[in-house]
Amino acid sequence: MNRQSLMAGRRLFSKVRVVRKPSTLANELGSLYEHNQPIFEPPSPEKKVSALDYAFSLKSPVSTWTKEQLREIYNTPLMELVHRAQIYHRNFHNPSEVQICNLVNIKSGGCTEDCKYCSQSVNNDTNLKAEKLMTVDEVVEQAKIAKSNGATRVCLGAAYRTVSTRKRALERITTMVKEVNKLGLESCVTLGMIEEEHARKLKDAGLTAYNHNIDTSREHYPNIITTRTYDDRLKTIDNVQKAGISACTGGILGLGETVEDHIGFLYTLCTMKQHPESLPINRLVPIKGTPIADELARDNSKKLKFESMLRTIATARMVMPTSIIRLAAGRYTMKETEQFLCFMAGCNAIFSGKKMLTTMCNGFDEDKELLAKWGMKPMQSFASKRPSSIVETCHI
């Protein structure tokens, strides 16, 4: 073919209009499905749903958890676990709000229990002297200070094995509760074991919550306390709830327990017919003269790792979505970044003030500065009433 013929052919081809149907994703997908060639493999009905995905799908709390499910959630890769816990938390709570609580030690020392971690036990050599029950006026003054610093809940703690055998003390504490309520504050007490009839007296006085911790797992519990059984504690919680009072119950991490004990601890709480209204998570502060402090000094491997604490909080949020998770004792020993991660994992309440019973506490001014730095604000009084199910709008 000579050069002139080649050029003529090219000119002829250029005049021919080639029409091609535009390609669209819908057309291509349609073609693929026509030939039964999906671009992804749809999940089969038989495929097992992970425990984390199951928890994430729930719109209200359930009490049918198994230890296997808790173990699976707890052992989720940490980044994914905390991320999912934060998203799920936003379905039930305002992520920018934190409840500030204040704990008042209204009767210190002299407790006959043998809790191996406690400075107030007469069985431990901590040189803590027993004190008399505070007056109503003293409590009111403390509550006013707490309120002026943004606290919306005041918890009154007395070192009693049981308040049910202390009629006069109970009468005075009932008056304290009434006076705290008059200030527009939520009231909480922690007074040891209590019978239902005495709990009802506190309910009639307007008590918001009764704190009684289970401390740890059922299995590890006998290693920590022998003067009160695990079931004694559960009975008190049941008495409180039957009286119509919200239960505030959690535990202490760092008692020489294992990861399996963290799972057992959560299992007890999340399988209760009614989940705790609030769940305090305490980080052990070893106190000189207590058996647990001596044990941890001898065996450094038993000390709590922060990752374990973070996993416990995140797992608690996934299985008890409506509970207020309170970062309680030991927070002052934590770095700012560690506290931040705890809030990312689902915590939404703190204790603030001078002391947590007999240990140090982050001060009001320090916490105000911290929350402002993070763009968070104090929760309004009585706004912590937990939702019964998922809120309509997710707080993103």
Q: What is the reported pLDDT for 48?
A: 85
Tokens of 246: 């919200």
Question: What angle separates helix 306-319 from helix 259-270, to the nearest 10 degrees?
Answer: 20
In this prediction, residue 388 has a pLDDT band, given cuts at 50, 70 and 90, of low
Q: Which residues are annotated as a binding site for [2Fe-2S] cluster?
A: 155, 188, 248, 326
Instruction: Examine the pLDDT at 197 and tell me if it is beyond 70.
Output: yes
pLDDT tens, residue by residue, 82-127: 999 999 999 999 999 999 999 999 999 999 999 999 999 999 999 8
CATH T-level topology, domain 62-378: TIM Barrel (3.20.20)
Which SS3 state, helix, strand or coil, does residue 27 take? helix
Averaged pLDDT, 187-203: 97
Q: What does DSSP say about strands 278-283 and 324-327: parallel, antiparallel, or unpaired? A: parallel
| 278 or 383, which is more confident | 278
Q: What is the reported pLDDT for 251?
A: 98
Q: Which residues are catalytic?
A: 111, 115, 118, 155, 188, 248, 326
In this prediction, residue 2 has a pLDDT band, given cuts at 50, 70 and 90, of low
Domain map (residue ranges) of the chain: 62-378
Q: Which residues are annotated as a binding site for [4Fe-4S] cluster?
A: 111, 115, 118
Instruction: Examine the pLDDT at 246 and tell me if it is beyond 50.
Output: yes
Q: Which one, of 174, 188, 190, 195, lies nearest residue 239 by Cα?
A: 195
Instruction: Examine the pLDDT at 372 and tell me if it is beyond 60.
Output: yes
Percent of the chain's residues with pLDDT above 90: 80
CB 73 within 8 A of CB 319: yes
Burial of 250 (0-12, 13-18, 19+ CB in 10 A): buried
Averaged pLDDT, 23-43: 39
Tokens of 363: 């001060």
Q: What is the reported pLDDT for 26?
A: 36
In this prediction, residue 228 has a pLDDT band, given cuts at 50, 70 and 90, of very high
Beta bridge partners of 378: 98
CA distance 302 to 239: 34
